Amino acid sequence: MLVIRALSAVVVVFCCLLLQPRAQDPLPQKDEDEVKKLGPVDPYTGGDKAAMAAAGVVAYGPFAWADFLTTADVDRVLGEGRVLWMETAHFKFGVNLRSVKWPDEQDQRKLLQDEVKQLRKTLPKLAERPKKIDPWLRVHLYAARCEKAYAEFQKLIGVRDADFPAKGDTPPNGAYLGLPGKFLVLLFQKKSDMVRYMDRFCGRKDERSMRYYHQKSNQMLLCVSAEGMEGVDECGLYSHVTYAIWHNLMSGYQGFQYPLPPWFAEGLAQWYARKVPTDYLTVEIKDDEAVAEEKQHEWPIKVRRRAQHEGLCIPFATMAEWPDSAAMGYHAHTQSWSRIDFLMRLDAQKLGQLLRQLKNVPPSGDWEAQGAQVRAMAQKLLFDLYELDAASFDQKWREWVLKTYPKK
């Protein structure tokens, strides 16, 4: 799931997100040039400065991208007019997703209807009931979703934009949670586009989903291809992007210098991702984990059933020592998510304090040693903030799960 490579004092992140989907209706196949035919002018603002400002749009392409390149440089590799570019307060987006139909599931339809209703407050040209989710509407949806995640992250750790004055071009002196450049999001329809981008600009060949740290400009990138995520629907993609954006926000906050404890980072990213109504999971199910496909998304029920038997629960003392997420399977993810669920419901403000303190450790340049230091620090902070040592965390969490989660 996460592959970390350290290069002397500089750390580069290569985070491959392995996916376990349930069977879904495939994305409708449209003309490959749908985005190109739409053209670069946003139909919902028309490029009008006042309309853009009201919608939270800072700019459309071309603009500066990553590692001192521009979106025009990316277009020359991927093809002119094939990507819609948009910049918001904290993100830069490149999107060439095709149109999708409205979902059939009631909870997913309601979510999208609520999102469209919210967008219409600043995009009056958007129809009350669009017949389809077209490419430009998808750009606006993902812009709103990512900015929402950014605001939730700031609220959790108790900071504002004003707490990050731009004082330099190296972390933690930047304006974007300490990074000097905005967070980057590329959402491609085709695997081939993702492969070309990753090969040309990152020196890798990935075709599904990747979190990458652009080292020269100190920017966190999320790059995804919908085609590579077989069976994904719109809400499944939304959930996956939420998961990955939360990882990038945690990694980028105060500079990406050392890893957070995997149980914490994975659990928190999953906690926000699982709010989206979808059966699509961002998790790797290990070969020795027998989990019925039609029940894989029922995390509260799955956790409760294991919590009934102490021997089926992963002790926190074990979780706390995980150096990375490579060995984390289905049950490790569900129980990490549930541990965060427990802590968030106890006191979300304290969990934000824990994260803030973990990310304010002066970097030493030794990735592995500092990772161990931060893992130990997390255990101490759990006791200081929640009065939970490993044994009491196990006990109180299990008791809470059995009282809180449904049996079926």
pLDDT in tens, 2-19: 322 222 223 344 344 445
pLDDT at 33: 80
pLDDT in tens, 165-201: 998 889 999 999 999 999 999 999 999 999 999 999 9
pLDDT in tens, 100-143: 999 999 999 999 999 999 999 999 999 999 999 999 999 999 99
pLDDT at 379: 98
With contact defined as beta carbons under 8 Å apart, do 285 and 20 qualify? yes
pLDDT in tens, 369-384: 999 999 999 999 999 9
End-to-end CA distance of the chain: 29
The closest of 266, 259, 261, 255 to 368, measured between CA atoms, is 259
On the question of pLDDT at 24 being above 90, the answer is: no
pLDDT in tens, 48-97: 999 999 999 999 999 999 999 999 999 999 999 999 999 999 999 999 99
pLDDT at 177: 98
pLDDT at 397: 98
**Does the pTM exceed 0.95?**
no
Confidence of residue 32 (pLDDT cuts 50, 70, 90): low
pLDDT at 19: 54
Q: Mean per-residue pLDDT for 280-299?
A: 90
Confidence of residue 294 (pLDDT cuts 50, 70, 90): confident
Interior CA angle at 200 toward 259 and 172, to 5°?
Answer: 35
Q: What is the side-by-side strand order in the sheet with 59-60?
A: 3-7, 10-16, 209-214, 219-225, 183-188, 91-95, 84-87, 59-60
On the question of pLDDT at 317 being above 90, the answer is: yes
pLDDT in tens, 209-251: 999 999 999 999 999 999 999 889 999 999 999 999 999 999 9
pLDDT at 292: 85
The closest of 249, 245, 114, 129 to 187, measured between CA atoms, is 245
pLDDT at 15: 45
Residues 201, 195: Cα–Cα separation, whole Å: 10
pLDDT at 123: 97
Indicate the average pLDDT of the chain. Answer: 91
**Which residues, other chains included, contact 45 with Cβ-Cβ below 8 Å and sequence gap of 6+?**
51, 52, 55, 57, 123, 125
Token pair listed for 297: 């998304």
